[in-house]
Structure 1
Amino acid sequence: MEKSLVCITGYSNKFWKIKAQGNFFIVSYGRIGTRGSINTKEFPSETLCLKEANRLIESKFKKGYR
């Protein structure tokens, strides 16, 4: 699963991307036009990984990302 979101407002111009593979995911984020930062997280199972990835995606929607 892979999802890319952006938040563009009067004072914000950011991207956020998550890629889930097996039991881990990779998150990259930062200002549009930069390399940004990258974080990874590993889980005991693929199910837990997808559950956490979907929770993070929903939290980004609530913060204004589309």
Structure 2
Amino acid sequence: MAGAVWQALAGAGLGLPPGDPLRADALPVGEEHGLPLVRFPLERPADAHQAVENGTVGKVLVDVTS
């Protein structure tokens, strides 16, 4: 799924190489790198948006696979 998203972004002219979801210049994320991931299921996009509005530290993700 991630590869498809990167390819879609690349096709939109955003400069991301198609088929390369792990770019060398990408920042590492996750608790072990000091940038926590906050996940919300697809059924709760409003909660994810509210987390961003409230200044949640880290990456706010909406999980489309659950």
**TM-score bucket (shorter structure):** under 0.3
TM-score (normalised: structure 1): 0.25
State the structure with more CA Rg.
Answer: 2
Higher helix residue share? 2
| RCO comparison, higher one (Cα < 8 Å, 6+) | 1
